[in-house]
Amino acid sequence: MGRLFGTDGVRGLANGSLSPELALRVSEAAAQVLGRGKKRALAVVGRDPRASGEMLEAAVTAGLTAAGVNVLSVGVLPTPAVAYLTGLYDACLGVMISASHNPMPDNGIKIFAAGGHKLDDAVEDRIEALLAEDAAQRPTGAGIGRVLNASGARDHGLVIPDQYSLEGTHERYVEHLVEGTGQDLSGLTVVVDCAHGAAAEVGPAAYREAGATVIAINAEPDGLNINDGCGSTHLEQVQAAVREHGADLGLAHDGDADRCLAVDADGNIVDGDAILAILALAMKDAGELAKDTLVATVMSNLGLHIAMRDAGISLRTTAVGDRYVLEELRRGGYSLGGEQSGHVVFPKYGTTGDGILTGLRLMARMAQTGRTLADLASVLETVPQVLVNVPVNDKAAVAAAPEVRDAVSEAERVLGDSGRILLRPSGTEQLVRVMVEATDPVQAKQLADDLAKRVASV
């Protein structure tokens, strides 16, 4: 059996590979590992709006309370909100039930440690090891965890300052986001594609609170329409809406709102690399870019490396996955990092990627400079990049196959110094991702197609 945890928690087909039984066992094991030694531990649990989240939340809650942990259910909120509230309420763990940008039938369980931090590999391994053991003796009677509401929290020993009332969790998160913006956004009009996901309420609310005029689209989740032809993986709707309304920009989130991609006033896409470049320059100008260093993954375009070098900014790269960006940010004491996909992390304001905060900070740069998004994004000239996702049965085995590695080596020989090749298994799906960058776009596509065919033949 392969490793249960991927790059972003446990993910699979809801009620299929990700069953309620597995959700219960994983959450119970996580409670035993992360709540160990605490007399009455607390877990914050949130979810995105997909229908299976209701079922899985019940299973996760059962697992946590069976381990003697109190559960504070905060309802539908973005992943970064659950991480933030986990730290705010001094919980020993947080659980977000979401499959992010994946289609509606999928779901996932993302677990945060105390402080709202993502788990490292060693902690995940300990949780997985518990799953293989016989179930531990569970508490009974008064030892069973409780599911808390606003009025019952204090009755069960949870002390929360008045300004952090449980009744205002959504509002408190919006306040937190706006506090991290530091700029009045009055005069800017933005189209926000909420992907019928977790950002549907708090996203537009935060942008309006910061002063922007907001046109929200795909903000009516019904449990079945999340990510359905919309959001950060389908930018056509936000592009069209920006042109239709004459907006200054458009922002697109994914299902759990930890991502943000943008389009300029003409509907041109501004991806995560361009957003990182804009924000890195803004923070450098403000003296906020620690050690003049940006953290990104190996998937970032060569153009980002060039732009940062020209601006006197160092670029450190990590493996793909915002957890690895987070680890490097913490290790080096850096203040900005992210991914081409639109995960952007500001350690001063959050412990994970936050799409809404990213959108706010991007608009703050526009308001501060008076420049258009297109003008700001022009700092980055992308090197042609081709990405092909190849469906396979065993992503790890195929990616490591000798014939695949030999094909990559031969393609690298052909490419020489004019680009680069990256082939890796997806962290969340049964795919092998083939990425080729080359100054010649025709050559990049040909090499990517040839490698994809070799991968598919294994």
pLDDT digits (tens, 9 = 90+) for 226-245: 999 999 999 999 999 999 99
> What's residue 157's pLDDT?
56
Residue 254 DSSP symbol = -
> What's residue 171's pLDDT?
87
Instruction: Place 115 in a pLDDT band, splitting at 50, 70 and 90.
Output: very high
> What's residue 7's pLDDT?
76
> What's residue 2's pLDDT?
62
User: Is 409 in the active site?
Assistant: no
Measured on CA atoms in the order 219, 54, 177, 371, is the torsion positive or negative? negative
Phi, then psi, of 355 in degrees rounded to 5: -65, -35
Query: Does residue 221 register a pLDDT over 80?
Result: yes
Phi, then psi, of 346 in degrees rounded to 5: -115, 95
User: Does residue 450 have a known ligand-binding role?
Assistant: no
H/E/C letters for each residue in 34-100? Answer: HCCCCCCCEEEEEECCCCHHHHHHHHHHHHHHHCCCEEEEEEECCHHHHHHHHHHCCCCEEEEECCC
> What's residue 275's pLDDT?
98
User: Does residue 120 have a known ligand-binding role?
Assistant: no
Encode pLDDT of 190-200 as tens digits.
Answer: 999 999 999 99
**How far is the C-alpha of 439 from the C-alpha of 382, rounded, in Å?**
10
Select which of 27, 52, 98, 100 is catalytic: 100
Rg for the chain (alpha carbons), in Å? Answer: 22
Mean per-residue pLDDT over the chain, rounded: 92
Instruction: Place 154 in a pLDDT band, splitting at 50, 70 and 90.
Output: low
> What's residue 45's pLDDT?
96
User: Poorest-confidence range of 230-234, 392-396, 416-420, 442-446?
Assistant: 416-420
Instruction: Place 156 in a pLDDT band, splitting at 50, 70 and 90.
Output: low
Instruction: Place 166 in a pLDDT band, splitting at 50, 70 and 90.
Output: low
Q: Which residue has the tokens 């706006």?
A: 178
Higher pLDDT, 180 or 308: 308
What type of residue sits at position 410? E
User: Does residue 258 have a known ligand-binding role?
Assistant: yes
User: Poorest-confidence range of 110-124, 286-300, 337-351, 408-422?
Assistant: 408-422
Other beta carbons within 10 angstroms of residue 149's beta carbon come to 12
Query: Does residue 455 register a pLDDT over 70?
Result: yes
Query: Does residue 224 register a pLDDT over 80?
Result: yes
Average pLDDT on 95-120 reads 96
Query: Does residue 284 register a pLDDT over 70?
Result: yes
Higher pLDDT, 163 or 441: 441
Instruction: Place 160 in a pLDDT band, splitting at 50, 70 and 90.
Output: low
> What's residue 323's pLDDT?
83
Do residues 153 and 166 lie in contact, with contact meaning Cβ atoms separated by under 8 Å? yes
Its pTM stands at 0.88
Percent of the chain with pLDDT over 90: 81
> What's residue 302's pLDDT?
86
Q: Which domains are assigned to the chain?
A: 10-171 (3.40.120.10), 180-377 (3.40.120.10), 385-457 (3.30.310.50)
Does residue 166 sit in helix, strand or coil? helix
Does residue 301 sit in helix, strand or coil? coil
User: Does residue 186 have a known ligand-binding role?
Assistant: no
**How far is the C-alpha of 242 from the C-alpha of 191, rounded, in Å?**
6
> What's residue 8's pLDDT?
81
> What's residue 457's pLDDT?
93
**How far is the C-alpha of 198 from the C-alpha of 110, rounded, in Å?**
15
Instruction: Place 350 in a pLDDT band, splitting at 50, 70 and 90.
Output: very high
> What's residue 231's pLDDT?
97
User: Poorest-confidence range of 78-92, 348-362, 417-431?
Assistant: 417-431
Do residues 101 and 2 lie in contact, with contact meaning Cβ atoms separated by under 8 Å? no
Do residues 388 and 290 lie in contact, with contact meaning Cβ atoms separated by under 8 Å? no
Helices and strands (H and E) in the chain: how many:
15, 19
Length reported for the chain? 458
Average pLDDT on 256-278 reads 97
Beta bridge partners of 118: 112
